[in-house]
Amino acid sequence: MADLSIKIHDILFKNPVLTASGTCGFGKEIQDFVNLESLGGVVMKGTTLNPREGNSYPRMAETPSGMLNAVGLQNKGVDNFVRNIYPGIKDIDTHFIVNVNGSTIEEYIAVTERINELEKIPAIELNISCPNVKEGGMAFGVSCPAAEAVVKAVRKVYNKTLIVKLSPNITSITEIAKVCEAQGADSVSLINTLLGMAVDAEKRKPVLSTVTGGLSGPAVKPIALRMVWQVHNAVKIPIIGMGGIMNATDAIEFILAGASAVQIGTGIFKDPDIFEKTISGIESYLDRHKLHSISELIGKLQM
Amino acid sequence: MQQVAAFILLRNILHRIIFALKSVNMRKTVSDLLLIDNKQLNKDNFLLKLQSKTPLSDIFPGQFVNVEIKKATEIFLRRPFSIMDVDYENRTISLLVKILGRGSKVFTEYIPGELVSVIFPLGKPFTLPLPNDRILLIGGGSGVAPMLFLAKICGLKPEQVHMILGARSATDHVDISEYEGLANLYYATEDGSKGEKGFVTHHPLFTHQLESFDKIYTCGPDPMMKAVAKEAYKRKLFCEVSLENTMACGFGVCLCCVEDTKHGNLCVCTEGPVFNINDLKWQI
Ligand SMILES: Cc1cc2nc3c(=O)[nH]c(=O)nc-3n(C[C@H](O)[C@H](O)[C@H](O)COP(=O)(O)OP(=O)(O)OC[C@H]3O[C@@H](n4cnc5c(N)ncnc54)[C@H](O)[C@@H]3O)c2cc1C
Ligand SMILES: Cc1cc2nc3c(=O)[nH]c(=O)nc-3n(C[C@H](O)[C@H](O)[C@H](O)COP(=O)(O)O)c2cc1C
Ligand code: FES
């Protein structure tokens, strides 16, 4: 059987399929459907220093081949994570990664420092790309100086694997990726959701309470693939690709475009068995193509 | 018949105990169920019966399923529907589906023999009544589904169970005569074509006898539930409502379906859909 394991910095993932932040809770929430130990990793929902209530309802709009969300990082804060969530996940045999958020650099640092104390969390995903919060969030991910400052500051206090999650709502994603690499990021993950909007024509009102929200699902896949490909050609650090992955073929496409691993988010809303199917589908793809290891495929798009 | 009643009663007592111990088998599954019956009840309402290959886990009134409408490829997300009835012996669940938009329409066009991907059972159910409770069930539109399920398994004598069903007109009411032996049924229609004229909250049982009930349960359009909740709240009566916030996942991971409650934003799909009105922030 082909070898599905991949390496990101110094972490060995048993396979390249991870959950995307904000779509699988802290992992426990999907255990009825998914054997967490079969996953490459679990990127948990966005965590901030203080608890956040998120935005008001309605927070979701279905769109062609996707959806808009405006959850706005609802979470109970990092203390709650350390005290109540971590003890329940630390002995599960997969890599749990915390998605770190903040409205100021100080907040990013404070959350990171708390997570750094946790032995069984091998990495953080620094979210500088959330489009659904008023302050901070995406603001850090759409300007090179801001991204530079936050990555640099977090790198100083964090010595484990640092993944930076990039925003697609930007003219040149490669510039930001290069800045992250230069500041010591070990990996970049992309893409976060695309800023979008939905209108209810009958009511003549925006559907979302926040008017705009983040688009995800198959609708964004071509953009996500393009960005992964561009970033792959711009930086040397490994890339975690995501955006609209619904099956093994989609995952392989991202890997060919340059991703070392992938995350699946919105896809689980439609099909809770998506992880199992994707992992076994990648396996059979490798067998069918007589490949021994998934790493042989990374960035191997034939031009 | 007596055996069946005794069985239901026994099962309910058991349920209540298991539920109190919170060890009830509520494992959610995603499975392909076989559509075995699809009956049009009136212009917009259909009764769909789905059968599972494997034994069903315990299912309670108020819980729902999340259905993938695969035939309408342009529909991306699943659609939630309340469970209206369960038959453990034949491993079937029934749904009452009202056509609202494209998803519900295509769902009602499925034909027996087809497979439907369903995630279930989802959500927290209604609080079951105590053996001596007098209960009032108020259903509007497709909201009658969980009310009927509750009437059926609550384990009370028919004289303890009263149900008002509201609709725009007589032709919008679905035929529920098979429930006649389980509860006292009353109707309200906006045009007066069946039962009392007006909304359910205009029904004399509601306006004059509300305080005689120990528990009030309601499911239906928001304005109806709010009108019911308002009167129950004023009189400090126990009242539970079942909300229908739009959902993406239905099993508690996306946080899209939240209701603003006195305990913060809670997911309707996991903390609800049933809420006690005292926990909601409705301006009532
Ligand atoms: C817990 C729960 C239980 C439900 N139980 C039942 C049931 O037993 N029987 C039944 O017929 N329906 C039930 N519903 C409602 C059902 O899910 C919707 O009617 C269905 O999703 C509509 O899909 P559609 O594609 O037909 O309509 P769409 O095309 O999605 O929507 C048509 C129009 O209705 C609006 N709309 C859609 N869904 C909702 C909603 N949930 N709240 C407010 N407005 C909405 C849309 O904004 C749009 O304007 C339930 C919903 C929930 C959350
Ligand atoms: C409901 C929802 C909540 C999300 N929350 C977060 C979050 O907290 N942090 C984050 O970095 N990304 C968040 N995302 C973005 C996803 O992790 C992912 O980047 C994006 O949805 C694209 O992948 P997908 O198409 O597979 O969902 C969220 C997405 C959705 C749909
Ligand atoms: S619908 Fe996803 S959390 Fe409720």
Q: Digits of tens for pLDDT over chain A (303 positions)?
A: 899 999 999 999 999 999 999 999 999 999 999 999 999 999 999 999 999 999 999 999 999 999 999 999 999 999 999 999 999 999 999 999 999 999 999 999 999 999 999 999 999 999 998 776 666 666 788 888 899 999 999 999 999 999 999 999 999 999 999 999 999 999 999 999 999 999 999 999 999 999 999 999 999 999 999 999 999 999 999 999 999 999 999 999 999 999 999 999 999 999 999 999 999 999 999 999 999 999 999 999 998
Quote the ligand 3 centre to B197 CA distance (angstroms). 37
Q: Let me know if residue B233 belongs to a domain.
A: yes
Quote the ligand 3 centre to B49 CA distance (angstroms). 25
Domain A6-54+72-195+217-296 homologous superfamily, CATH = Aldolase class I (3.20.20.70)
Tell whether B77 and B147 lie within a shared domain: no
pLDDT category, B6, cuts 50, 70, 90?
Answer: low
Q: Which residues of A283-293 are buried (b: 16+ CB within 10 A; e: fewer)?
A: bebbeeeeeee
- Which protein residue's CA is at the shortest distance from atom 1 of ligand 2? B254
Q: Let me know if residue B12 belongs to a domain.
A: no
Average pLDDT over every residue of B112-132: 96
List the 227-286 stretch of A: residues with Cβ below 8 A of B.
266, 268-273
Res B174: pLDDT: 86
Residue type, B71: K
Domain containing residue B165: CATH number: 3.40.50.80
Res B206: pLDDT: 87
What residue of B is the nearest CA neighbor of A244?
B76
pLDDT at B19 over 60: no
Res B23: pLDDT: 43
Tell whether B164 and B234 lie within a shared domain: yes
Q: Let me know if residue B202 belongs to a domain.
A: yes
Quote the ligand 1 centre to A147 CA distance (angstroms). 41
Which residues in chain B are contacts of A271 at CB distance < 8 A? 30, 68, 117
Which ligand is nearest the CA of B74, by number? Answer: 1
Domain chopping of chain A, boundaries: 6-54+72-195+217-296
* Residues B13, B5: Cα–Cα separation, whole Å: 12
Res B11: pLDDT: 63
Res B12: pLDDT: 62
Instruction: Specify whether the CB–CB gap between A255 and A241 falls below 8 A.
Output: yes
pLDDT tens-place string over residues B195-253? 889 999 998 888 899 999 999 999 999 999 999 999 999 999 999 999 999 999 999 99
Last-in-domain residue among B59, B94, B122: B122
Q: List ligand 2's pocket residues with C-beta within 6 A.
A: A 20-23, 45-46, 69, 71, 73, 99, 127, 130, 165, 192-193, 216-217, 220, 242-245, 264-267; B 254, 256
Which of the residues B57, B245, B253 would you substitute to probe the A interface, choosing the one with the greatest number of A C-beta atoms within 10 Å?
Answer: B253
How far away is chain B from the Cα of A130, in angstroms, using its nearest Cα? Answer: 15
Quote the ligand 2 centre to A127 CA distance (angstroms). 10
Average pLDDT over every residue of B13-38: 74
Tell whether B105 and B142 lie within a shared domain: no
Please judge whether B76 and A273 are an interchain contact, meaning their C-beta atoms are less than 8 angstroms apart. no
What residue of A is the nearest CA neighbor of B250?
A269
Tell whether B217 and B158 lie within a shared domain: yes
Please judge whether B76 and A66 are an interchain contact, meaning their C-beta atoms are less than 8 angstroms apart. yes
Ligand 1, atom nearest to B244 Cα:
53
Last-in-domain residue among B62, B94, B122: B122
Tell whether B204 and B251 lie within a shared domain: yes
Quote the ligand 3 centre to B190 CA distance (angstroms). 34
Q: Let me know if residue B3 belongs to a domain.
A: no
Tell whether B41 and B143 lie within a shared domain: no
Tell whether B116 and B139 lie within a shared domain: no
* Residues A116, A92: Cα–Cα separation, whole Å: 18
What residue of A is the nearest CA neighbor of B68?
A270
Which residues in chain A are contacts of B263 at CB distance < 8 A? none
pLDDT at B181 over 90: no
- Concatenating the DSSP letter of every residue in A188-255 gives EEE--PEEEE-EETTTTEESSTTSEEEEESGGGHHHHHHHHHHHHTT-SS-EEE-SS--SHHHHHHHH
Cα separations (Å) of B92 from B37, B81, B273? 10, 15, 22
Res B179: pLDDT: 83
Q: Let me know if residue B211 belongs to a domain.
A: yes
Quote the ligand 1 centre to B200 CA distance (angstroms). 21
CB of B265 within 8 Å of a chain A CB? The answer is yes
Please judge whether A60 and B256 are an interchain contact, meaning their C-beta atoms are less than 8 angstroms apart. yes
SS3 assignment, position A157: helix
- The segment with the largest mean pLDDT, out of A102-106, B12-16, B106-110, is B106-110
Which ligand is nearest the CA of A141, by number? Answer: 2
CB of A53 within 8 Å of a chain B CB? The answer is yes
Res B266: pLDDT: 97
Tell whether B91 and B139 lie within a shared domain: no
pTM of the full predicted structure?
Answer: 0.94
* Residue A302 burial (CB count, 10 A): 4
Ligand 3, atom nearest to B247 Cα:
1
Q: Domain tally for chain B?
A: 2
Domain containing residue B85: CATH number: 2.40.30.10
Minimal Cβ distance to B265: which of A32, A65, A74: A74
Last-in-domain residue among B122, B146, B166: B122
Instruction: Specify whether the CB–CB gap between A101 and A47 falls below 8 A.
Output: yes
Q: Let me know if residue B260 belongs to a domain.
A: yes
Ligand 2, atom nearest to A263 Cα:
26
Q: Residue B48 pairs with which residues in a beta bridge? A: B38, B95
Hey, which residues of A are catalytic here?
130
- Concatenating the DSSP letter of every residue in chain B gives -HHHHHHHHHHHHHHHHHHHTT------EEEEEEEEEEEE-SSSEEEEEEE-SS------BTBEEEE--TTSTT--S-EEEE--EEETTTTEEEEEEE--SHHHHHHHT--TT-EEEEEEEESB-PPPPPTT--EEEEEEGGGHHHHHHHHHHS---GGGEEEEEEESSGGGSPP-GGGTTTSEEEEEETTSSSSEES-GGGSHHHHHHGGG-SEEEEES-HHHHHHHHHHHHHTT-EEEEE-----SSSSSSS--SEEEETTEEEETTTT-BEEEGGGB----
Ligand 1 mutation target, pool B44, B244, B258, most atoms within 8 A of CB: B244
- Concatenating the DSSP letter of every residue in B230-273 gives HHHHHTT-EEEEE-----SSSSSSS--SEEEETTEEEETTTT-B
pLDDT at B22 over 50: no
Domain coverage including residue B247: 135-279
Tell whether B142 and B250 lie within a shared domain: yes
Which residues in chain B are contacts of A268 at CB distance < 8 A? 249, 253
Higher pLDDT, B19 or B168: B168
Which residues in chain B are contacts of A201 at CB distance < 8 A? none
pLDDT at B16 over 70: no
* Residues A186, A13: Cα–Cα separation, whole Å: 15
CB of A63 within 8 Å of a chain B CB? The answer is yes
* Residues B259, B76: Cα–Cα separation, whole Å: 23
Tell whether B213 and B112 lie within a shared domain: no
Q: Let me know if residue B65 belongs to a domain.
A: yes
Tell whether B171 and B66 lie within a shared domain: no
Tell whether B91 and B154 lie within a shared domain: no
Average pLDDT over every residue of B164-192: 89
- Which protein residue's CA is at the shortest distance from atom 30 of ligand 1? B101
Q: Let me know if residue B235 belongs to a domain.
A: yes
What residue of B is the nearest CA neighbor of A66?
B76
Instruction: Specify whether the CB–CB gap between A256 and A294 falls below 8 A.
Output: no
